C-alpha cells in the first residue's frame, strides 16, 4: 500500500502511524467504491477489533480464577453491593443486563462451585436472595485485584494523556447510546467489574 492509497480526503495521514488491516480494507473500498466515504470504518472497525482483543485479555484473567465472564460479572455485582453482599435474582438481572434464565444458569454454576448461596428472603417468602459465600468473597477479591492489574497493564500501552482523552471521547459517545442511568446500579462486563 502506498501513501496515496491511505490518503484521507481531509489531508495526508501521519506517516508515523503504522499500517493495519483496516488501512488495507479502506484502501480496497476506496478503489472499488470511490463514491463512498469509508472513513467511518477507520474508527468503527478499529474500535470493534480493539474490543475483541480486550475481551480476550480480560477473560484470560477470569479463567485463572476458574471464572467465566458471566461468573465474574455476578460475583463482582454482589461484592460491589457491600455487606451483606447479596441481591435478589431480579436485582442481579437488572445489574448485569441478562435474562432471568441466563441468571439462573450463572447462579446454579456459582452455587455448585460454593461461591454463592441461595436463601429465602426475610422480607418476602416468595423471593430468593443470592449471597456471596466466604469462599466466593475470596475468589472475587483475588480475581478483581488481578483484573485491575490487567486493565492497568492494557491501558499503560497508551500515553496517559491519550488514555484520558480516549476516556472522555468514549464517555461522550456512549452517552449517545445509553441513558446515564445514574439512579440505577451499574454493572456488566463494560463496567469492568
The closest alpha carbon to 58, from 142, 167, 146, belongs to 146
The closest alpha carbon to 76, from 68, 122, 52, belongs to 68
CA 119/CA 87 separation, integer angstroms: 11
SS3 11: strand
Q: Tell me, what's the pLDDT at 3?
A: 45
Give the residue extent of every domain in the chain: 1-37, 43-191
Contact call for residues 75 and 110 (beta carbons, < 8 A): yes
Q: Tell me, what's the pLDDT at 47?
A: 93
Q: Tell me, what's the pLDDT at 99?
A: 85
SS (H, E, C) 80-134: HCCCCCEECHHHHHHHHCCCHHHHHHHHHHHHHCCCEEEEECCCCCCCEEEEECH
If the chain, 193 residues long, is cut into consecutive pieces of 10 residues, what is the mean pLDDT of each piece?
Answer: 46 68 91 94 92 95 96 95 92 85 91 94 83 97 98 96 95 85 48 54
Contact call for residues 106 and 114 (beta carbons, < 8 A): no
Q: Tell me, what's the pLDDT at 5?
A: 45
The C-alpha cell at 73 is: 460479572
pTM of the model: 0.78
Domain at 43-191, CATH from 1.10.1040.10, 1.20.1050.10, 1.10.10.10, 3.40.50.1100: 1.10.10.10
Contact call for residues 122 and 76 (beta carbons, < 8 A): no
Q: Tell me, what's the pLDDT at 125?
A: 76
Contact call for residues 163 and 151 (beta carbons, < 8 A): no
Amino acid at each position: 500500500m502506498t501513501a496515496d492509497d491511505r490518503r484521507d480526503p481531509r489531508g495526508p495521514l501521519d506517516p508515523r502511524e503504522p499500517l493495519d488491516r483496516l488501512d488495507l480494507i479502506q484502501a480496497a473500498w476506496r478503489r472499488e467504491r470511490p463514491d463512498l466515504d469509508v472513513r467511518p470504518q477507520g474508527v468503527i472497525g478499529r474500535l470493534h477489533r480493539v474490543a475483541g482483543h480486550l475481551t480476550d485479555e480480560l477473560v484470560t484473567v477470569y479463567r485463572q480464577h476458574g471464572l467465566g465472564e458471566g461468573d465474574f460479572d455476578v460475583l463482582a455485582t454482589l461484592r460491589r453491593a457491600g455487606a451483606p453482599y447479596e441481591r435478589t435474582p431480579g436485582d442481579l438481572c437488572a445489574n448485569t443486563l441478562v435474562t432471568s434464565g441466563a441468571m439462573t444458569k450463572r447462579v446454579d454454576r456459582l452455587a455448585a462451585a460454593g461461591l454463592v448461596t441461595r436463601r429465602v428472603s426475610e422480607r418476602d417468602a416468595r423471593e430468593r436472595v443470592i449471597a456471596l459465600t466466604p469462599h466466593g468473597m475470596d475468589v472475587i477479591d483475588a480475581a478483581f485485584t488481578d483484573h485491575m492489574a490487567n486493565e492497568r497493564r492494557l491501558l499503560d500501552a497508551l500515553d496517559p494523556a491519550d488514555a484520558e482523552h480516549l476516556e472522555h471521547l468514549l464517555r461522550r459517545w456512549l452517552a449517545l447510546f445509553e441513558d446515564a442511568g445514574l439512579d440505577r446500579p451499574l454493572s456488566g462486563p463494560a463496567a469492568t467489574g
